[in-house]
Structure 1
Amino acid sequence: MSSPTTLPLLETPSPADSSPSPVRLEAEPSREAGTSARRMTLVDGLRGFAALAVVLPHAVGLFTFAGAGALSEWMVRLAHFGHRGVEVFFVLSGFVIAFSLRRTHLSPRGIGQFILRRSLRLDPPYWVAIAWFCGFLLLRGVMTGKPAGLPSVPHLLSHLLYLQDLAGYGQLNVAFWTLCIEFQFYLAFAVLLGLAQALSRWSGREAVLPLFFAGLFVLSLAWPTGLLQMRSHETHVIYLPPHVFVFLAGALTWWTLEGRLPRAVWYTLVIGLWALFAWKLDSRVFVAAATSSLLYVAGRSHRLYSWLAARPFQYLGRTSYSIYLVHVPLCLLLLSVKVRVAPPSDLAALAFLGAVYAASIAAAHVLYTWVEAPCLEWTKRLKR
């Protein structure tokens, strides 16, 4: 896929130990009886919607057939916007990482511990998803009588280390590219945050840290504005810089809500994003601006912990990473079944799309229950 999850693919951290801030956020809720802490329900809910959105572009083949009707043509157009669920994940990742590291001193040891926690959180479900996709390749080979096309050992190892694009192998599963970007961001953000903390201590001014990243945000706009572009021979390589502005839009939003970044600076930067969208009509810029604005409005109006709190939204949010990991082979499998057993009609395509969503949610539930949830508990124990 050209652009889908990480997923954000971070867990929404517990806000119970948040430090006071000039803006009285719900970042300091009291603990409720029988629970550890409240969660940012808006963040989880948005993750759920983003996970559902990115499924559609991979299932769009259900709607492409000779004589497709108006419904299928409309679904094909809608699928294009499903790609933008990726930017929602990226903004949320920046927002949550800035929150989760707000009281962390990032020495080289601290950076290593942070990356270790991220690996324990994300790697095991990802490895299972790699095995799941290889199993799909084997099944497809048996069904078609063609070679399975399994990855070589170096190709597989590059995936395990999120280096498949940088190593020139490309993606085994087209959805995996965002995981490479996410991990590049974690490492770069932690290192830069540690540097900004050192500059802040050296200068004696806490405002240096958010302003440092505000400057990086402005520089990162060189990609969406077109001032910097990938060279033609680099178009197959997925790397972080063109996506930095999306992550930082989320991080700067948290720091503004926390009171560390002046609101006037945030307003200037976000208005600049909206102006850039009006100029370029870039849907990535629109999603970055819209998601950041929504998070800011929710924070200012004390709704981060109440909007999208309904159980279905929260369930989808919790399992969004697993949905992202498992949905591609299911899309391909059900598309193959549809071609063989169903007539080329709009209603058949819509029915199979429902089956794709149902199967993806069911498989994600299993992956979340048996792999992802235990990993979450491990990272919590490690942090304690």
Structure 2
Amino acid sequence: MATAPPSRRHRPSCVSRSSSSLQSIQALRGFAALYVVAFHSGLALAHADIPALAWLTTHVIKRGHVGVDVFFVISGFIIAWVAIVGPKGPETPSTFLVKRTFRLAPPYWLMSVLHSTWLNPVSTSALLSSLAFLPQANVDAPYFGYPALYVGWSLNYEAFFYALCALGLTLFGRRALWLVALVLFTTTIIVPFWHGSVVLRNPEALHAWATPVQAMAANPLVLEFLLGAGLAWLYAKHRHRLTPALARVLLAVSLGAFIISVIGPAPKFDLLARGLPAGALLMGLVAMEYCSLLRVPRVAVRLGELSYALYLVHPSVIEATHRLVGVLAPEWIGTQLLLFAVNLALTLALAALLHRYVEQPSIALGRKTIDWMHDTRHAWRARLGLQKP
């Protein structure tokens, strides 16, 4: 009887020890949120007698904007895996939209109103544009006019990506990602070329011809969502090929690439220099978890659960504390560390409250809405005689 070659027959497989919880992504999401908090806190550890602190401030702390690239890649992966290509199959467009809306909107709306009321007054039109997840002006890319809660600029991109996925689910179901890829290829390459613009790699560059929404859709940052979605597609199709050795190599290489992308001389945002290493790190962690080589600490998973609330709460906390202690000497390291510790503690506490009393109830309400829609649809089909026996 013929036998398989030894290299194939004895190759270890991860299939029997697989994990489908993707807790590693939760942990990565929590890390990205904390990194953004550290970046926005203005933490500066520079000291004339300790050059290493100056290097740490310049090349690590001040690179916290990388957290946004990580968020975008994670969003692309999670949405594609959960709603389109994962084991549960594609969601219906209505289910997808309700789940995403109730997950994204209510906590953001609340914090936007509170922030604009107490700390950063804005016009009614600016607030309404913020609540509608719309960019405000074709200036200052990739932000395109800060919303009432300034971190909301990234949520405008999220909402745009969700809308594309909903359209893809409506038209193509499980092949929705093909439409998403086509639309993003069109908005970032074909449309700028049609208008006579150079196809831009730099997310901070502007298209003079574009409206705010067109400018956002043409920004290369949107391709980081596509990168994450593409990785989810690869994971869905080929995860059975992973081996423990391959998972270890992938994590080691991706971690090194990500560290280099953070400390190296790269643009603030960049698909190749920032997005690709973030995507590689995500796949390295997922591969390790799939092969049961990575045990994610519960505290890291919990931090990931709080990541959205952390992202929404920290601007208000940081601005409030900086106003209160602005009279203190900011150049003293002790003041910087104390202020950062206070910011972090308050952010964690308020994020836990927002998650518990706003985010979780909103998600639960979204599930109830989906159940109600499902029951109503079945009732109407039964009345019309369309229900299968």
| 2:216 equivalent among 239, 244, 259 | 239
CA contact (8 A) 1:68 1:346 kept: no
Match in the other structure for 1:183: 159
Q: Could you tell me the TM-score, scaled by structure 2's length?
A: 0.68
1:36-83 CA distance string (max 9 Å, x none): xxx3211110010000011123211x5399989753674244333100
- Paired amino acid for 1:41: Q
User: For the structure 1 residues 377 and 261, does the alpha-carbon distance in structure 2 shift closer, same or farther, using more than 3 Å as the test?
Assistant: same
State whether residues 133 and 329 of structure 1, in contact with CA within 8 Å, keep that contact through their aligned partners in structure 2.
Answer: yes
CA deviation vs aligned residue, 1:152-198 (integer Å, no higher than 9, x gap): 22222222111242598642222110111100110012213444449
1:25–1:258 CA contact under 8 A, matched in 2: no
Instruction: Give deviations 1:190-237, integer Å, cap 9, x for gaps.
Output: 213444449x6xxxxxxxx66666667777885664699522586987
Q: CA deviation at 1:346?
A: 1.5
Match of 1:335 among 322, 327, 344: 322
Task: State the shift of 1:359 in Å.
Answer: 1.1
- Rate the CA distance shift 1:345–1:45 in 2: closer, same or farther, 3 A: same
User: Quick check: which has more Rg, 1 or 2?
Assistant: 2
Q: CA deviation at 1:249?
A: 1.2
In the alignment, structure 1 residue 151 sits paired with structure 2 residue 151? no
Where does residue 250 of structure 1 map in the other structure? Answer: 228
Contact 1:88–1:291 under 8 Å retained in 2: yes
Higher deviation after alignment, 355-364 or 221-230:
221-230
Alignment match, 1:259: 237
1:119-160 Cα shifts (integer Å, max 9, x gaps): 1112111122113313432xxxxxxxxxxx622222222221
8 A contact 1:91–1:292 mirrored in 2? yes
Query: Which residue of the partner structure matches residue 364 of structure 2?
Result: 377
* Aligned-residue CA RMSD (Å): 4.2
* 3-state SS in 2 of match to 1:119: helix
**Percent identity (aligned):** 25
Q: Does 1:101 align with 2:77?
A: no
Separation in structure 2 between the aligned mates of residue 246 and residue 41 of structure 1, nearest angstrom: 21
Per-residue CA distance 1:308-340 (angstroms, 9 max, x = gap): 621221121011101100111211222223322
Alignment check: 8 A CA contact 1:214 1:252 kept = no
Deviations 1:215-268 (A, max 9, x none): 6777788566469952258698761332222111111111111117999xxx9x
Match of 1:63 in 2: 44
Closer/same/farther in 2, CA of residues 227 and 287 from structure 1, 3 Å limit: closer
SS at match of 2:151: helix
Query: What TM-score, normalized by structure 1, do the two folds share?
Result: 0.69
Amino acid at match of 1:155: A
Comparing 217-226 and 346-355, the one that deviates more: 217-226
Give the distance between the partners of 1:319 and 1:178, measured in 2 at CA.
Answer: 17
